[in-house]
Amino acid sequence: MTSDTSRLVLTRPDDWHLHLRDGAALQAVVADSARQFARAIVMPNLKPPVTATQDALAYRGRILEALAHAGVPEGTFEPLMTLYLTDNTSGDEIRKARASGAVHAVKLYPAGATTNSDAGVTDLLGRCKGALEALQREGMPLLVHGEVTDADVDVFDREARFIDRVMLPLRKAFPELKVVFEHITTKDGAHYVRDADGPVAATITPQHLLYNRNALFVGGIRPHWYCLPVLKREEHRQALVEAATSGSPRFFLGTDSAPHARGLKEHACGCAGCYTALHAMELYATAFERAGKLDRLDDFASRFGPQFYGLPRNTGTLVLERCATEIPTELPFGDTTLVPLAAGETLDWRVQA
């Protein structure tokens, strides 16, 4: 990376946690990711979820079609597909996924933890042994939404409890399994990943680096800052910034960009998810600059992710210019609209076209 005060030249980055949705929503958002990222790990929580290799391949085909339709040149953006783990996922399905060459990971959603997780796992070590053994053998990462869902656990403690109740027993039973603790939000998560034995890593979103939970309540309830796991207190945000900028290869970029129609966010029971694909690198640059660690952004965004997944690093570049950039207040989203994170605010950086 080269940097002066006005320009940052990065290796072309990848997004290791992305929701692209399907149909008109997919068409509306896919070019935003392709503008910045060379590859993305595409989450499988569609309705119905992507549970089989053949479904993942069909979904990949729809993403490539949407890219072509949006005028993105072929070969610019590679969707890396995932399967949604269920109580019934077999070891054979994992082997088939690996052999396809298109599926790169399997996602654990504890049942009921987040958007479209109803078909998720009810008892990981009880029900998914065959799949976990196959993942460990194939060297394919298990990606986890790391929150317990028990109604008696406080919503702000769900990630910390997940470490004790799921992560530790999982790592003990499958010590060689590659695990990515997705979108970590707490000091507990960051320190666990920093110190754990074996192949463990974590993705960190821009919103969890930039905001603490106060952002949810500035002058009233702010649904566009609501995602899961929910924003935490300032000490946790600081621990995440420290992890992301530490130079540890265990922490890398995953936006968790999760578009929901405006009307479903501004609702009596609003959906969880922040839309950040539009301006992800600008948001990350803002967070790294505030920490005085812009020189660490390249490794976080472009180097540590492919290293963990066993994929080559990209060869192209992405240029960020220092330039006041106003975030649009809304974007087209099929027959409705979408509000990006921090809509209407001004950022100091802009991705060069």
Ligand X SMILES: NC(=O)N[C@@H](CC(=O)O)C(=O)O
Residues in contact with ligand X, counted by CB under 6 A, come to a total of 11
Verify binding: residue 41, ligand X, rule CB under 6 A: no
Verify binding: residue 46, ligand X, rule CB under 6 A: no
Residues sharing a CB contact under 8 Å with residue 207, sequence separation 6 or more, in sequence order:
225, 227, 231, 274, 276, 283, 341
Verify binding: residue 115, ligand X, rule CB under 6 A: yes
DSSP assignments along 25-54, one per residue = HHHHHHHHHHHH-SEEEEP---SS---SHH
In angstroms, give the least distance from the CB of 150 to ligand X: 17
Verify binding: residue 237, Zn ion, rule CB under 5 A: no
In angstroms, give the least distance from the CB of 175 to ligand X: 26
Verify binding: residue 93, Zn ion, rule CB under 5 A: no
Which residue among 97, 134, 227, 327 contacts ligand X (CB under 6 A)?
Answer: 227
Shorter beta-carbon distance to Zn ion: residue 35 or 145:
145
CB 211 within 8 A of CB 238: no
The answer to whether the annotation marks 260 as part of a ligand binding site is yes
Which residue among 145, 187, 232, 237 contacts Zn ion (CB under 5 A)?
Answer: 145
Query: Residue 255: which of ligand X, Zn ion, none does it interact with, CB under 5 to 8 A by kind?
Result: none
The answer to whether the annotation marks 21 as part of a ligand binding site is yes
The answer to whether the annotation marks 123 as part of a ligand binding site is no
The answer to whether the annotation marks 236 as part of a ligand binding site is no
Verify binding: residue 236, ligand X, rule CB under 6 A: no
Verify binding: residue 299, Zn ion, rule CB under 5 A: no
**H or E segment at 144?**
strand 142-144
In angstroms, give the least distance from the CB of 80 to ligand X: 16
Helices 280-290, 23-36: crossing angle, 10 deg rounding: 50
Site for ligand X in 120-139 (CB under 6 A): none
Verify binding: residue 15, ligand X, rule CB under 6 A: no
Site for ligand X in 149-178 (CB under 6 A): none
The separation between CA 132 and the C-alpha centre of its own chain, rounded to angstroms, equals: 21
Cα distance between residue 20 and residue 301, in whole Å: 19
Cα distance between residue 187 and residue 105, in whole Å: 25
The answer to whether the annotation marks 256 as part of a ligand binding site is yes
Shorter beta-carbon distance to Zn ion: residue 145 or 279:
145
Verify binding: residue 19, ligand X, rule CB under 6 A: yes
Query: Residue 107: which of Zn ion, ligand X, none does it interact with, CB under 5 to 8 A by kind?
Result: none
The answer to whether the annotation marks 224 as part of a ligand binding site is no
CB 10 within 8 A of CB 36: no
Cα distance between residue 252 and residue 240, in whole Å: 11
Q: Is 256 one of the catalytic residues?
A: yes
Alpha carbon dihedral 221, 274, 298, 303, in 10-degree steps, equals 140
Query: Residue 45: which of Zn ion, ligand X, none does it interact with, CB under 5 to 8 A by kind?
Result: ligand X
Q: Measured between alpha carbons, how far is residue 8 from residues 5, 201, 319 in Å? A: 8, 26, 6
The separation between CA 306 and the C-alpha centre of its own chain, rounded to angstroms, equals: 14
CA atoms within 13 A on the CB side of 92: 2
* Active site (catalytic) residues: 256
Which residue positions form the known binding site for Zn(2+)? Answer: 17, 19, 107, 145, 183, 256
Which residues of this chain interact with ligand X, rule CB under 6 A?
19, 45, 114-115, 145, 227-228, 256, 258, 272-273
